[in-house]
Structure 1
Amino acid sequence: MKKVAIPIANKKISEYLCGCSHFAYYDMESKNTTISESAVIDFTNADEIRLWIKNNGITDIILHRIRKELIGIFTSEKINLFVGVPMVSAGQIIEAYRCGKLESDKNIITEIIN
């Protein structure tokens, strides 16, 4: 199963994970999108992040920006990260993802890793 998590704030992708109000989850097999009730996750706690990944069956995370420290946690859990995605609605992001047209922004990636 492949499940994508998208952090949402103000009806579009959140700039950072920590700034989101909830998550949109897209299941590639069922083609269903669900919205979480809230985003009560402590993204400074690696154990809590790993538990969130496991409990939600997440395989991919689509983000605009990410703190450099979090990249190692997600890669150790074999999570695919799409970084630098435009701050648009979850529906637009999911459609681009489904069509194979979602790409990470190399400028934002360079900014994060440097």
Structure 2
Amino acid sequence: MFYSIKAHQKGIEVKKALYITSKITLWLLALLGVYALVIFVRLKAYHQDKGYMILTFGVTIMTEETYEAYLDTNIKQLEEIRNQKLNKALELCKQSGLVLRKFDGKNFSFECDEPNRSKP
């Protein structure tokens, strides 16, 4: 009888310990969830200021206006690079006393020819 009472008391102590541990775990998970929510809201506000939208945590997409602005900027940069290549090709032909006949800005290939001479 003495052993069964002791075992019963240990069982109650284990149940109390499990109960307390589960409560602590739940509170920690709740705090972690609140922390993640705060981070998500701050990221969302940060990206919306820049013209982006966040669909889910960590997934960022561009709005239509931001995408159009990105494309415009990209096209302007490509035009600037092409113009720089064209100017370089013109300069190289001019240094040789020739004129530029063909130019491919994408592959930066060009052909120079003598002035006043047409190609067949």
TM > 0.5 fold call:
no
Higher helix share: 2
Q: Tell which has more relative contact order, 1 or 2 (C-alpha 8 A, sep 6+).
A: 1
TM-score by length of 1: 0.17
- For normalisation by structure 2, the TM-score amounts to 0.17
